[in-house]
Amino acid sequence: MPLREGGTEETGWLSRWGFQVNALSADSIGRQAIEDRYIQASKIDQPTVAGVAGVGFRICRARYSFAVNGGVVGTIALLGATSLPANAVIVGGFVNVTTPLTGGLNATAALQVEGADDIVAAAAVSGAPWSTTGRKSIIPAFTGATSVITTVARDVSLVIGTADLTAGVVDVFLFYVLIA
């Protein structure tokens, strides 16, 4: 579609939409309204990797891989850094099990950020949610009552209990907002 004089492809769909309306409207009032709307739309914060600048959800992704992290009983920091800042309110997310966790007799696994069992409660790896592939629910379920707030910068950790793990790959996706 041809662009109006002076337009460029970089101005996006709104400019092309403005061109179509301008072609249909011969009065200067209609053209001015379209141009004002484009200016207002261009002032809206643009999405970034961490969400809309200053507003909205941010996403933290962490991965547990037995081949990379091992599986000894204890707490494994999945990011190796305090990637969730202080005052991050985790409101929801999910766990994606790509390779089921397996381990010794009665091995358990849990996910935590601020405190024990706050993302996924400890459960035997021989059962839900660890024993099958797919997306699994976490405790923060987009309600105030289930949200988790970090008091200081934190890492996402997998807590292995009772017996060592022998296999597994799990991706954790946490949606959070900053309140301070």
Averaged pLDDT, 95-113: 97
Q: How far apart are CA 46 and CA 113, in angstroms?
A: 29
Q: Where are the alpha helices (DSSP H) in the chain?
A: 12-24, 28-42, 66-69
pLDDT of residue 134: 98
3-class secondary structure for 92-142? EEEEEEEEEEEECCCCEEEEECCCCCCCEEEEECCCCCCCCCEEECCCCCC
- Give the model confidence (pLDDT) of 50-87 as tens digits: 444 555 789 999 999 999 999 999 999 999 887 899 99
pLDDT of residue 55: 59
pLDDT of residue 30: 45
C-alpha closest to that of 89 among 178, 156, 152: 178
Q: Are 169 and 78 in contact (CB under 8 A)?
A: no
Q: How far apart are CA 43 and CA 54, in angstroms?
A: 14
- Give the model confidence (pLDDT) of 13-56 as tens digits: 443 334 333 444 444 444 444 343 433 433 344 444 444 455 57
Averaged pLDDT, 3-8: 46
Cα dihedral sign, 44-49-53-57:
positive
Averaged pLDDT, 148-172: 97
